Amino acid sequence: MKIILRDGIDSAAIHHIEQWLVTHGCVVHRLEQDGRQTLCSIAEGLEIDLDQVRALPGVDAVARIPHSFKLASRAFRPADTVIDVGGIAIGGPEIVMMAGPCAVEGEEQVRTVARAVRAAGARVLRGGAFKPRTSPYAFQGLGVTGLRILRAAADESGMAVVSEIMDVSQLEVMLDYVDILQVGARNVQNFTLLQALGQVDRPVLLKRGMSSTMDEWLMAAEYIMSGGNRKVIVCERGIRAFGGSYTRNTLDLSAIPVVKQLSHLPIVIDPSHAVGVRDKVLPLARAAVAAGCDGLLIEVHPRPEEALCDGPQSLRIDDFAALAEQVRRIAEAIGRPIAPPGPAPGPRGPRG
């Protein structure tokens, strides 16, 4: 349940309320909202009498949270969550472009892409160092070397870095290099990983699973948030419908208004994985911005035909510049800014 505390309540009184809740079997999270103290009390499977809670000294108002996700719900936190990534605000008015290669293949590749996408207005550099591949015989990524390349290129171009973490064992090294930890669609219910990410203070970009319902997806966010890490960005990347041969997955843009209604978390759209075909990325990126997303995640490769991974869906550098220009016009039409083209003093990396 959500418990709004009286103005000017002192910490002893808050502690007393928390104690009461804990002894009644609840887990309690504290949040300051609009200058007021709020508690989120979670008691799965228990029935707490709301009137008893209301009667506790210092309690102003009490309401049930009507979803199985609690901390992730807008019922608990009405205001949008805005996540600061080295000066870039994700979830605010600006639509943030994130772009880069599917996999880090080498220094020159990443630097070329980083400069180009930064010049077109992207603020976050994406790139896979640990690659989840369907085949054990396919290229599995450059690992730490890849992270180093990514960090250097991002620093040079003044960008933040988002990269995928596949397993808890990679967490420590990822924290050294990466500004946003990406959880891939296949790991959306890797609960051990989600719990570990709840323990760190680093933004997480959580992709929707190929067959995740909204509730399952937001419950995955809740796993991270219930551990203490509130900086979760959700990312729609196409679901598995009955399919067909013309797109890889089905991009579900209704996720944008649905997430905005259910949750306060920022939502980013990845049209590249959703459609899997270069020439369909552009119209769907425009559509995502028009529908109200907070950011785009786009695959760009200097020479897609030579890419070790996901070549067919990667944009060429010129394609990305065209995309950036087009989505900027759409963003303007709905009154939201996108970072202008051209280099800019960027964020410092996690060790900066």
Residue ranges in 30-49 that form contacts with a second copy under rule CB under 8 A: 42-45
Beta bridge mates, 160: 124
d(CA 329, CA 346): 23
**Least spacing, CB of residue 81 vs a second copy, in Å:** 18
Q: Is 340 in the site for a second copy (CB under 8 A)?
A: no
Strands (E), the chain: 2-5, 27-33, 36-42, 59-63, 83-85, 88-90, 96-100, 124-126, 160-164, 180-183, 204-207, 232-236, 267-269, 295-299
Identified binder of a second copy from the candidate list 291, 336, 344, 350, rule CB under 8 A? 291
Q: Is 325 in the site for a second copy (CB under 8 A)?
A: no
Q: Which is nearer to a second copy, 61 or 334 (CB)?
A: 334
**Least spacing, CB of residue 41 vs a second copy, in Å:** 11
d(CA 45, CA 129): 41
Identified binder of a second copy from the candidate list 280, 296, 299, 301, rule CB under 8 A? 280
Identified binder of a second copy from the candidate list 244, 342, 345, 351, rule CB under 8 A? 244
Q: Is 143 in the site for a second copy (CB under 8 A)?
A: no
Task: Spell out, one character per residue from 14 to 33, where the chain touches a second copy: x when CB under 8 A holds, - when not.
Answer: -------------x------
Q: Is 292 in the site for a second copy (CB under 8 A)?
A: yes
64 Cβ neighbours under 8 A, 6+ residues apart? 1, 2, 50
Rg (CA), the chain: 21
Q: Is 222 in the site for a second copy (CB under 8 A)?
A: yes
Q: Is 11 in the site for a second copy (CB under 8 A)?
A: no
Q: Is 243 in the site for a second copy (CB under 8 A)?
A: yes
**Least spacing, CB of residue 134 vs a second copy, in Å:** 5
Amino acid identity of residue 299, one-letter, is E
Q: Which is nearer to a second copy, 52 or 211 (CB)?
A: 211
- Identify the three-state secondary structure at position 32: strand
Q: Is 186 in the site for a second copy (CB under 8 A)?
A: yes
Would you list the DSSP string of 1-19? -EEEEPTT--HHHHHHHHH
* Ranges within 59-118 binding a second copy (CB under 8 A): 68, 70
Q: Which is nearer to a second copy, 48 or 291 (CB)?
A: 291
Q: Which is nearer to a second copy, 153 or 166 (CB)?
A: 166
Q: Is 334 in the site for a second copy (CB under 8 A)?
A: yes
**Least spacing, CB of residue 213 vs a second copy, in Å:** 4
Q: Is 183 in the site for a second copy (CB under 8 A)?
A: no
Identified binder of a second copy from the candidate list 22, 61, 191, 352, rule CB under 8 A? 191
Q: Which is nearer to a second copy, 35 or 244 (CB)?
A: 244
Q: Are 324 and 120 in contact (CB under 8 A)?
A: yes
Q: Which is nearer to a second copy, 68 or 145 (CB)?
A: 68
Q: Which is nearer to a second copy, 9 or 287 (CB)?
A: 287
Closest CA relative to residue 173, chosen from 351, 297, 348: 351
Site size for a second copy (CB under 8 A): 77
The packing angle between helices 107-119 and 317-333, to 10°, is 30
253 Cβ neighbours under 8 A, 6+ residues apart? 236, 269, 284, 287, 288, 291
d(CA 95, CA 83): 13
335 Cβ neighbours under 8 A, 6+ residues apart? none
